[in-house]
Amino acid sequence: MTCLDVREQFSALVDDALAPGERAALDAHLATCADCRRELQRFRDTVALVRAVAPVRAPAGFVERVLEAARPDPWYRRLVRGLFLPWPVKLPMEAAAIVLVAVGVAVVYRGTREIEPSARLDSIAPAVRQAPERAAPQALTPTPQRETDARRAQNDARKLKTAKDQTQAPEPPKGPAPAETIHKKAAETPERREKQEPEVAAKPDAPPSARERAMTREYARSRPAPAPGARADAQAPRSTPSVTGSSYAFTPADVSGRLTVSDRDAALRGVAELATRLGAVANRRVDTPDLQILELTVPRDAYDEFVRELARLGRWQPGREPSALPARVRVVLQITR
């Protein structure tokens, strides 16, 4: 038995885990080898040091925390876990929050409709009375008689300014504009309008309502309003299996064309800023998964610059562009990638 063999057995020797034969051979070697005896002593001392390490104690309150963790969950937690955990795809909390907000908005909206008449009398009617009498009837087209909330009231002054511009224009718009139709509707009784409104909202190919127009104008001033766009998203595929143009949703425009861009959201923002700068008005917007359709009214004087700037935002391909333009050019943009 070599020294190396003997030292390999030290651990078992210290633990008294050697078979009797192994132990006898080891003892015989140790009796004659001083180096191995010294090494064995160092080994014993090491093990003694390790075994002298103070025992660790669990932190205070450990037992209570374990018992608390082992306690069955109350029924409502089990219910929540039952609702969420078995699902192969968990419902993101953000999605749940969006649904809740959407329901809240719907409830508030329904409540608002009931106070429409009083809101109209309080805030909108004075603005209409201030409109100049010499203004042509069609010049008052944006008068938001169907708009009821405070935001629409704020828009009123801006729209009246637009009306004045139109009155001072050298020549009136050619042909019956969709705004005239809206104006006629605006002259109808409130009760009839309220009955008709849901139908208008439900039909994507109906002429744009004043409510939608106001909302898209709001979009032109800031970010796109998601609610009308979302509604169009939901309805467009049903009503237009293949979206190829804007005619299904808009009355004939003076100019229509396709704007091919890399980022549709950025392009929409660009168009909105452009419209604001040039005094154009965004009338309506329809979103589909493949394209966004935007209807604007651009002052004729600003039209050339509008088209130049449009070409900066993406590839502008006008499909229809008459040589003689009206004072207020109605432009329909199809924004695609």
Is 14 or 200 the residue whose CB approaches other proteins more closely?
A: 14
CB of 72 to other proteins, least distance (A): 11
CB of 77 to other proteins, least distance (A): 16
* φ/ψ of residue 108, rounded to 5: -65, -40
C-alpha span between 176 and 239 (Å, rounded): 25
C-alpha span between 306 and 299 (Å, rounded): 9
| Residue whose entry in the numeric block shows the structure tokens 């898209």 | 216
Is 9 or 143 the residue whose CB approaches other proteins more closely?
A: 9
For 55, 99, 209, the CA distances from 60, given in Å and listed in that order, are 15, 45, 70
Is 17 or 91 the residue whose CB approaches other proteins more closely?
A: 17
Calculate the CA 223 to chain-centre distance.
11
Lateral strand order in the sheet of 315-320: 281-287, 291-299, 328-336, 255-260, 315-320
* φ/ψ of residue 292, rounded to 5: -120, 135
Q: Is 62 exposed, middle or buried (0-12, 13-18, 19+ CB in 10 A)?
A: exposed
The piece of 5-13, 202-210, 244-252, 265-273 that touches other proteins (CB under 8 A) is 5-13
Is 44 or 151 the residue whose CB approaches other proteins more closely?
A: 44
* Residues numbered 255-314 forming contacts with other proteins, rule: CB under 8 A: none
Is 22 or 321 the residue whose CB approaches other proteins more closely?
A: 22
| Residue whose entry in the numeric block shows the structure tokens 């943009």 | 333
Is 31 or 60 the residue whose CB approaches other proteins more closely?
A: 60
Q: How many residues does the chain have?
A: 337
Is 59 or 170 the residue whose CB approaches other proteins more closely?
A: 59
**Residue 4 near other proteins by CB under 8 A:** no
CB of 66 to other proteins, least distance (A): 5
The piece of 11-19, 105-113, 255-263, 279-287 that touches other proteins (CB under 8 A) is 11-19
* Helix and strand totals (H; E) in the chain: 16, 5
- Comparing CA positions, the residue from 184, 317, 188, 185 lying closest to residue 259 is 317
CB of 4 to other proteins, least distance (A): 12
CB of 41 to other proteins, least distance (A): 9
C-alpha span between 167 and 271 (Å, rounded): 26
Largest CA distance in the chain: 130
Sequence-distant (6+) residues with CB within 8 A of 242 are none
Is 49 or 89 the residue whose CB approaches other proteins more closely?
A: 49
Alpha helices in 205-291 (DSSP H): 210-221, 226-239, 264-278
**Residue 17 near other proteins by CB under 8 A:** yes
Which residue from 1, 12, 25, 278 is in contact with other proteins, where contact means CB under 8 A?
A: 12
**Residue 201 near other proteins by CB under 8 A:** no
Which residue from 5, 8, 122, 305 is in contact with other proteins, where contact means CB under 8 A?
A: 8
* Residues numbered 42-101 forming contacts with other proteins, rule: CB under 8 A: 42-43, 45-47, 49-51, 53-59, 62-63, 65-67, 69-70
The residue ranges that bind other proteins (CB under 8 A) are: 8, 10-12, 14-15, 17, 42-43, 45-47, 49-51, 53-59, 62-63, 65-67, 69-70
